[in-house]
Amino acid sequence: MRDGCTPWPPEFAERYRAAGYWTGETFGAFLRDRARRFADRTAVVGGDRRWTYAELDARADRLATGLHRLGIGPGDPVVVQLPNVPEVFEVVFALFRLGALPVYALPAHRSAEIGHLRATTEARALVVSAARGPFDHVQMARKVADEAGEGRVPHVIGVGAADPGSLAEAGALPLESLRAEDADPAALCEADPSDVAFFQLSGGTTGLPKLIPRTHDDYLYSVRASAGICGLTPGTVFLGALPIVHNFPMSSPGFLGVMHAGGSTVLAPDPSPATCLELIERERVTLAAAVPPVAMLWLDAVDGGAQAHRDLSSLQVLQVGGAKFTPEAAKRVSGTLGCRLQQVFGMAEGLVNYTRDEDDEATVIGTQGRPISPDDELRVVGPDGAEVPPGEPGELLTRGPYTIRGYYRAPEHNAGAFTPDGFYRTGDVVRVAPTGHITVEGRVKDQINRGGEKIAPDEVEDHILAHPAVHDAAVVAMPDPYLGERACAYVIPRRGAEDELNRPALLRFLRGRGLAAYKIPDRVEVVPEFPATGVGKVSKRDLRAAIADAIAADRH
Ligand code: OOB
């Protein structure tokens, strides 16, 4: 495995191969094989564009050739930050064909995150949107690229420019210019299936987001198994409404599961009810995936709202995951949308759980499902690290055939995030029923789950502490009826700087540091001191309680 990664011990790798989970297939071969079987079927729909499997396959080859001529080759990381456009598929499969490694960034990321990804992976190129919009991704990517040391400045590649010719002035290459007329087989490389195929980003709890190395073998196993559990067929039409390179819409079962089955993915440019419900009707979508706040917006829009007239009869399953879906909201799905609900509890590090077709209603509404694999090992432990009695709440630890054994280039962090025998500490507090179904009860990790978008408080605190008028900062979750949680920053001003520190100034400062918008605190409380725990640390528990009380009082 690539340097900086933690391989599975050989006895586990052998076991996973013998069980038929790890088959030795690579992503490059995966698309080739799908294109052979499903050549003329539609693979992806985006706006008025529809690409068949054969067309996607040919595009991947041509772009791979162009990228190869640019100097990108086996093992080279490339940051991919694109909105939901068909070119996402073209770019990532071209990279797979070269044995190059996509590093998946979310569209919301800004220079702080993209700069970190570039530096950690020493990326050779940054592929970003050049479409006209409120934010200039090309300019940001250029700035990030120029921060790299001499000789290591990555290429900036722009996708979707209205006038590709003008991109050169902005210091970027238009994707169009890299599509070679003829695919050159010499450019294509057969990657090692047991090696890293791409990097996902962790939501993170400490410091900057960690990189998650996923191999061809482990990830394709989760894709195939997910497609089977979710009953996908060539008739599946999947609506990709969330950022498409997030683990959930990518592989749970996501667009890759849909490709495995020969179905079609319809890309939604945004998750709004107006956009998505219209697409479900027009494209006869059968499967959609949403985070809880998006699902709730869809429910409200159909339930006597602006989209009540939509014909959603094609929709068979709405998947909800990424954050806890309350039983109250879960109960509304089948009556309002006329489809089944499937809860999905997963993580980019690996483990994914689904409620199943055959589960009874109480299980689908009240649990977050059970694991994909018979070889997913779960342990539920108390604060002392010992397993709790069955059915009792505790922290979920897991290892298995598609759960990583370590983050990339993070040995110190790994020492705490994994047990010595290789279990990943999820930080989620769960109960496991005798049937194996998991209910998420809370978490022990210091993380904010803002409607499925994960925020590491101490990453934000570090940015706040860089403000000259700030003495100390603590970021905590506050309850929110729509997103589940939002972020509240408590700040103590420096003595004498009390007048300089106010909410607008702090938010402006954080935006200026290039932090993704979802990480910018929703509320700022300036206080003279923090409550302390018995041992003198900041008591985040007391801060969370204080802000929850203040919000409850505001409402009354
Ligand atoms: C998914 O992946 P990530 O990496 O963005 O976040 C993982 C974390 C979990 O550890 C848990 O804290 C939370 O998100 N989570 C849920 C949940 N699904 C994820 N908490 C409660 N209920 C759920 N259903 O979020 C992700 C990856 C693949 C599939 C689905 C979600």
pLDDT tens for 368-409 read 999 999 999 999 999 999 999 999 999 999 999 999 999 999
pLDDT (average), residues 528-546: 94
The 10s digit of each residue's pLDDT in 130-185 is: 999 999 999 999 999 999 988 899 999 999 999 999 999 999 999 999 999 998 88
On whether the CB atoms of residues 195 and 217 are closer than 8 A, the answer is no
- In this prediction, residue 10 has a pLDDT band, given cuts at 50, 70 and 90, of very high
pLDDT of residue 206: 73
Q: Which of 247, 291, 343, 345 to mutate to test the pocket of ligand 1 (most atoms within 8 A of CB)?
A: 345
The 10s digit of each residue's pLDDT in 17-64 is: 999 999 999 999 999 999 999 999 999 999 999 999 999 999 999 999
- In this prediction, residue 234 has a pLDDT band, given cuts at 50, 70 and 90, of very high
Q: Are strands 424-432 and 394-399 parallel, antiparallel or unpaired?
A: antiparallel
pLDDT (average), residues 111-138: 96
pLDDT at 188 over 80: yes
Check if 396 has its Cβ closer than 6 Å to any atom of ligand 1.
Answer: no
Residue 383, preceding peptide bond in cis (omega within 30° of 0): no
Check if 323 has its Cβ closer than 6 Å to any atom of ligand 1.
Answer: yes
Query: Distance, CA 66 to ligand 1 centroid (Å)?
Result: 36
pLDDT of residue 485: 97
Q: Which fold has domain 26-192?
A: Rossmann fold (3.40.50)
Query: Distance, CA 32 to ligand 1 centroid (Å)?
Result: 31
pLDDT (average), residues 480-490: 96
pLDDT of residue 555: 82
Least Cα distance to 40 among 28, 30, 29, 50 occurs for: 50
Distance (Å, rounded) from C-alpha 554 to C-alpha 556? 6
7 in helix, strand or coil?
A: coil
Check if 348 has its Cβ closer than 6 Å to any atom of ligand 1.
Answer: yes
CB atoms within 10 A of CB 314: 16
Check if 245 has its Cβ closer than 6 Å to any atom of ligand 1.
Answer: no
Both tokens of 398, joined, read 């897991």
Looking at the domain that runs over 448-555, which CATH code has it been given?
Answer: 3.30.300.30
Query: Distance, CA 323 to ligand 1 centroid (Å)?
Result: 6
The 10s digit of each residue's pLDDT in 64-80 is: 999 999 999 999 999 99
pLDDT at 529 over 90: yes
The crossing angle, in degrees rounded to 10, of helices 327-337 and 292-302 is 40
Check if 543 has its Cβ closer than 6 Å to any atom of ligand 1.
Answer: no
Residue ranges, CATH 3.40.50.980, the chain: 26-192
The number of the ligand 1 atom at minimal distance from the alpha carbon of 453 is 5
Residue written as tokens 């998750």? 271
Query: Distance, CA 446 to ligand 1 centroid (Å)?
Result: 15
Give percent above pLDDT 70 in the chain: 100
pLDDT of residue 204: 73
The number of the ligand 1 atom at minimal distance from the alpha carbon of 321 is 24
pLDDT (average), residues 499-509: 93
Least Cα distance to 125 among 168, 154, 93, 82 occurs for: 154
pLDDT of residue 363: 98
pLDDT of residue 534: 87
> Which residue's CA is the nearest one to ligand 1's atom 14?
322
Residue ranges, CATH 3.30.300.30, the chain: 448-555
- The amino acid at residue 311 is D
Both tokens of 142, joined, read 């250029």
pLDDT at 14 over 90: yes
Polymer length of the chain? 556
Give me the half-sphere count of Cα atoms (radius 13 Å) on the Cβ side of residue 328.
4
On whether the CB atoms of residues 214 and 197 are closer than 8 A, the answer is yes
Distance of CA 214 to the CA centre of its chain: 13
The 10s digit of each residue's pLDDT in 370-381 is: 999 999 999 999
On whether the CB atoms of residues 258 and 305 are closer than 8 A, the answer is no
pLDDT (average), residues 309-318: 98
- The amino acid at residue 539 is S
Both tokens of 70, joined, read 């640019």
Distance (Å, rounded) from C-alpha 306 to C-alpha 404? 44
212-226+234-241+266-348+360-443 CATH pick, 1.10.1580.10, 3.40.50.12780, 2.40.128.110, 3.40.50.10320? 3.40.50.12780
**DSSP for 66-101?**
HHHHTT--TT-EEEEE--S-THHHHHHHHHHHHT-E
- The amino acid at residue 3 is D
Distance of CA 359 to the CA centre of its chain: 27
Q: Which of 428, 447, 450 to mutate to test the pocket of ligand 1 (most atoms within 8 A of CB)?
A: 428
Give the angle subtended at the CA of 178 by the CAs of 172 and 182, to the nearest 5°: 170
Distance (Å, rounded) from C-alpha 327 to C-alpha 338? 17
The crossing angle, in degrees rounded to 10, of helices 216-229 and 254-261 is 70
Query: Distance, CA 348 to ligand 1 centroid (Å)?
Result: 8
- In this prediction, residue 247 has a pLDDT band, given cuts at 50, 70 and 90, of very high
Residue ranges, CATH 3.40.50.12780, the chain: 212-226+234-241+266-348+360-443
pLDDT of residue 151: 86
pLDDT of residue 253: 98
- In this prediction, residue 427 has a pLDDT band, given cuts at 50, 70 and 90, of very high
Distance of CA 26 to the CA centre of its chain: 21
DSSP state of 332: H
Query: Distance, CA 322 to ligand 1 centroid (Å)?
Result: 4
Residues with Cβ < 8 Å from 386, sequence gap 6 or more? none
The number of the ligand 1 atom at minimal distance from the alpha carbon of 201 is 4
Check if 518 has its Cβ closer than 6 Å to any atom of ligand 1.
Answer: no
How does the average pLDDT of the chain come out, rounded? Answer: 96
The 10s digit of each residue's pLDDT in 322-362 is: 999 999 999 999 999 999 999 999 999 999 999 999 999 99
